[in-house]
Amino acid sequence: MTAAEMLERLVGFPTVSRDTNLDLIAFVEAFLDEHGVPHWRVESDDGRKANLLARIGPDLAGGVVLSGHTDVVPVDGQPWSSDPFTLVDKGDGRLYGRGTCDMKGFIACALAEVPRWVALDLEKPIWLALSYDEEVGCIGAPRMIERLMADHPLPAAVIVGEPTLMHPVVAHKGATNLRTTVTGRASHSSQVNQGVSAIHVAAKLVTYIEEVMAELRAEGRVDEAFNVVHSSLHVGKIQGGTAINIMARECTFEWEIRHLPSDRFEELVGRVNARAAELEAEMRDRAPEASIVTEALNETVPALADDNNAEVLALCHALLGERPAGAVAYATEAGQFQRRGLPTVICGPGSIGQAHQPDEYIDIEQLEAGARFMVALGERLRRA
């Protein structure tokens, strides 16, 4: 089976994060069984989703992990010109379908090479690590990494196959999603001295969240390796109030912090919490029941730092040729592997510019480059 044929099968499974991925996992398990490859499921608490670990080659330390997430983002409301879950070749050098670049293309390249890897006398193992729920906060990977570390010999390197146009990436920002709820006191809008508008207070806090980025730049907290050189804070959703003539009792907004590897999430959210405490005290002077509460919506996805990666980076250069290493603003599971002490880089086919878009596609040339990478990896790890 070629990488394109495998990609066609994978795209056909609508593994949107809100839905199960078990049909895809069962397909991969059956494929691995055909080739005598041992594998292990690592399920979610409710059993609706699963990670999958597989080992090709000897049960020894020092192998290479190829990691990819099986979930994709929704297609709701997007103007697709074809069925998102049917791989389409329009004859323009591209393969269209949800997940083609993010990131079933990488997984397809790896799975298509499994029969040839099995036939090689590998000196070190190649691991496949397929996760669930990356798109909604990198939720599935930690328990998969825990199982890998606890039950199997320690790998030497991890390559996370997010779309990077087959250039190694050595750093990315961390990410945390948050929800802040401001509770004031409702009153008639003509009696502004009687109430406390949660919307007005929330607006002050939202404005401050943006001001934090200016503070960071002024303090020199920047990293020129990133296209957005500072940690970023962004409010994406806000809702509050019941009528135009009622001072709003409640306003809720959802926001995120994407922090540089050199910054700490706790310090950045602490700045916002300190301003929230000041605003809350002002509110309580007029309404003792008022409050501002912020909660994290996900466990912080750790940043990937350009650190302890010389060997895995050298491996990528050996397989791809010398290519400049970069940094990306989006978060991945790579930081989770690195946090457990595993040298990790990101490298995969396709462009992140196509991810999450209607008519998502991967260039056929990129898929072929990913396939060549897998061939070269097998040759690199086989016995001399």
Residue in 380, 335, 310, 316 with CA at minimum distance from that of residue 165 = 316
Catalytic residue among 71, 102, 113, 135: 71
pLDDT in tens, the chain (384 residues): 999 999 999 999 999 999 999 999 999 999 999 999 999 999 999 999 999 999 999 999 999 999 999 999 999 999 999 999 999 999 999 999 999 999 999 999 999 999 999 999 999 999 999 999 999 999 999 999 999 999 999 999 999 999 999 999 999 999 999 999 999 999 999 999 999 999 999 999 999 999 999 999 999 999 999 999 999 999 999 999 999 999 999 999 999 999 999 999 999 999 999 999 999 999 999 999 999 999 999 999 999 999 999 999 999 999 998 888 899 988 999 999 999 999 999 999 999 999 999 999 999 999 999 999 999 999 999 986
- Residue range 3-171+303-381, CATH number: 3.40.630.10
Given the residues 134, 263, 280, 359, the one annotated as active site: 134
For 120, residues 6+ apart whose C-beta sits below 8 A from its C-beta are 57, 378, 379, 381, 382
Known active-site residue 379: no
Please confirm, yes or no, whether 71 is among the known catalytic residues. Answer: yes
The pair of structure tokens assigned to 276 is 């929230």
CA distances from 16 to 280, 294, 311, 372 (A): 39, 28, 35, 29
DSSP-based three-state secondary structure for 267: helix
CATH number of 174-296: 3.30.70.360
CATH 3.30.70.360-classified regions of the chain: 174-296
Under a CB-based contact definition with an 8 Å cutoff, are residues 170 and 326 in contact? yes
First to last CA, the chain: 27
Residues of CATH 3.40.630.10 domain(s) within the chain? 3-171+303-381
Considering the entire predicted model, what is its pTM? 0.91
Could you give the 3-state DSSP secondary structure of residue 181?
A: strand
List the alpha helices (DSSP H) in the chain.
3-11, 22-34, 105-119, 141-151, 198-218, 265-286, 310-320, 334-339, 364-381
At residue 320, the 3 state secondary structure works out as: helix
Measured at the CA of 91, the angle between CA 89 and CA 95, to 5 degrees, comes to 35
